[in-house]
Amino acid sequence: MLKDICWLVITLLRTTFRKRSNLILYLGLPLAGILFSLLIYSGNGQEGLHVGVVNEDGAEIAANTISFLQGLDQVKVENVTEAEMQKQLAAGKLDSGLILQKGYSDSVLAGEPAQIVIQSLKGAQVTAYVKAMLYNYIDNFAAVGQISDGDPTRFKQLYEDYQKQDFQLTANTVHDNSLMVQMSYQSIGFLIMFMMMSAINLSELILKGREDRTYFRIMSSPITPRTYVISNIIVNFIVMLIQIGFTVICIRYVFKFDTGIPLYQLVGLLALFALISVGISLSIVAFSKSSGMSGALQNLVITPSCLLAGCFFPIDVMPAFLRRIADFLPQHWVLQTIKQLQEGDSFTSIGFNLLVLGGFIVVFFLLASYKFKRMNDIRNFV
């Protein structure tokens, strides 16, 4: 039996990689996924915030506030009118807008800052940095205003003294690799989808072998139906290991993405998912009466499940009820495990995740096996 399995595995591998279309499916698509991730994230985080400022107050305190904003790293300030600001925000030319309304300086001088408005169409993630730095600066302004009891001359003197104080500051440069980690994570999401497509494509050889009568010619030899199915499983797993190795090498050494976790852990998790993909593909083939039906089930299962699992975009942007559905999808558990490792969790702390992934393997293989047995004999299926 072992000799027959080895012969079938070698034959199937030769047949599989002889076709250029298969090379595109198994190796070209994962590479395209990496390039697409690179395209999505290209330029992200490279440019600073573009902030439009409307100075309706015109006093010295307002001018100092704008000067402080101009001195912030990654912030480009442009003086505009309120109408221009609204127009440029709508057009996406400005990330955020700041309005210093009339009376702003007086409110700061009184120790109760007001008359300041920050606008953005891109959400809090755009304005958080500006708000944090600006409000801290204004609070210092207000504290000086409270001490001066609203006296402009005393306020100016106290503020000048405050600026002259010497502060000891130690600065360390930290390399930000978050963008690289995001790109590698997104590339892995696409790889997971292509692995599932490849697994079903290879398992469909069982159906196609029956349709073109190849299977019956093989069965005229001493090879048993069970041997034929086992060899298909082995070929399926080998091809996906090649996919994983090729993609990981491209991510790490060609495109220089930082995966955020050791490569052996990443390969191990993806190999575990490869077994899940084989189980899913066998289940789909077991419930299909033809390769056409198998293709229809593939479209029904793979794309929607990968979408809900977060393979195409971060799952955090989805509503809560969709995130609950993702808990029942193996793709989500693989991505979640990778994310936990990227965040610093140890490999031993993800035991429950590995147990869940192992459970998916058992469930899908048992499901396929049950369907085969319901047909009384594998021969009736293949």
pLDDT tens digits for 27-43?
A: 888 888 888 888 876 65
Torsion sign across C-alpha atoms 154, 156, 161, 165: positive
Q: Radius of gyration of the chain from Cα atoms? A: 30
117 closest CA partner among 51, 67, 175: 51
What residue segments make up the domains of the chain, in order of their start? Answer: 1-42+178-378, 49-164
Write out pLDDT tens, residues 214-231.
656 666 666 676 787 888
Class at the top of the CATH hierarchy for domain 49-164: alpha beta
Other C-beta atoms closer than 10 Å to the C-beta of 176 total 9
Contacts of 340 (CB under 8 A, 6+ apart): 349, 350, 353
- 75-79 vs 116-119, strand pairing mode: unpaired
Q: Give the CA diameter of the chain.
A: 104
Q: Going residue by residue through the chain (382 aa), what tens digit of pLDDT does each one get?
A: 788 788 888 888 888 888 888 888 888 888 888 888 888 766 555 456 788 999 998 888 888 888 888 887 778 888 999 889 888 887 778 888 889 889 888 888 787 888 888 887 665 556 676 777 788 888 877 787 778 776 777 777 776 776 666 555 565 655 556 667 777 888 898 999 999 998 988 888 777 766 666 656 666 666 676 787 888 899 999 999 999 999 999 988 888 887 888 889 999 999 999 999 999 998 998 888 877 888 888 889 999 999 999 888 777 767 888 888 989 999 999 999 998 888 788 878 889 999 999 999 999 999 988 887 775 444 444 4
> Phi/psi zone of residue 213: left (φ > 0), alpha (ψ -120 to 50 degrees), beta?
left
Q: Give the pair of three-digit tokens for residue 279.
A: 């189980």
